[in-house]
Amino acid sequence: MKQHKTIERLIIYRLLLENEIQAGVRHIFSHQIAEKTGNTAAQVRRDLMKVGVAGHAKMGYDVAELISGIQTITESKNGISFVVIGAGNLGKAILNYFSKLFPHFVAVACFDIDPDKINHMISGVYCYPLEKFSKVVDKKHIHLGIIAVPPQGAQEAANLMIQGNIKGIVNFSSTPIKVPKNVFIENMDIRITLEKVAYFASTNL
C-alpha cells in the first residue's frame, strides 16, 4: 500500500510538472510542488529522492530532469498495451481518451456481446466477440485490462482477464470484483465520486 501511494504521488507530480514546463517554468522548489499537490514539502522531497534527481538550493529542481526521472520509474519503455471489455458509451470514451496518450498507452482490442459492435472498429480499435478474449490476448502482450460493462457482467469480465494472465485491472463498473492477490485492481466508481462531491458541496451551501 505504501508503494501504491508513492507511485500515485509521483504520477501526480509528473502531470503537474508537464503543465509547468508547458507554461515556461524550468525550475521548481519542493514547497511549490507541495502547495500545488496538497502534500508537505518534506513528503515531496522524500518521494523525489527515489527519482534520483537532486535539487539546487538556489534554483530548486530542474523540471525537465524531474519529468524524465519520474517517467523512468512509472512508465514502461515499450508502452502499455491494454484491452477494454465493454464497447458502449463508457468504453468508447475510454478508448478515445487513451488514443490521445499514444504511444505510452496502446489499445490493442476491445470486446463486447452486441452484434452491432462486434467485428467493427470502435474508436479506432477492432471489437471482438467476448468468447474470443482468451485467443486474442494469448497473441498479444497485454499489461492492463479495463472493465466498462454493466455491474452484472463485471465479475465475468474480470475472470476472463485473470484467465488471460492480465495482472492489472481498472474496474469502471459500479460493483466490486474479486481478484487474486497477484492482480492489482483499481475501482473507479464515478457514481460514488459524484455523490461524495455532491454531499460535501451541499453541506457548504
Buried b (16+ CB within 10 A) or exposed e, 55-80: beeeebbbbebbbebbbeeeeeeeeb
The 10s digit of each residue's pLDDT in 155-190 is 999 999 999 999 999 999 988 899 999 999 999 888
Residue 1 binned pLDDT confidence (cut-offs 50, 70, 90): low
Write the Ramachandran bin of 106: left for phi over 0, alpha for psi from -120 to 50, otherwise beta.
Answer: beta
The 10s digit of each residue's pLDDT in 31-71 is 999 999 999 999 999 999 989 888 888 899 999 999 999 98
Model confidence at 88: pLDDT above 90: yes
CA 26 to chain centroid: 27
- What is the overall mean pLDDT for the chain? 90
Residue 125 binned pLDDT confidence (cut-offs 50, 70, 90): very high
Residue 120 binned pLDDT confidence (cut-offs 50, 70, 90): very high
Model confidence at 75: pLDDT above 80: no
DSSP 3-state of 78: coil
Burial class (CB in 10 A: 0-12, 13-18, 19+), 86: buried
Neighbours of 130 (CB within 10 A): 17
The CATH topology of domain 80-192 is Rossmann fold (3.40.50)
Residue indicated by cell numbers 517554468 = 25
DSSP 3-state of 81: strand
Domain boundaries, the chain: 2-72, 80-192
CATH 3.40.50.620 assigned to domain 2-72? The reply is no
104 close to 79: Cβ distance less than 8 angstroms:
yes
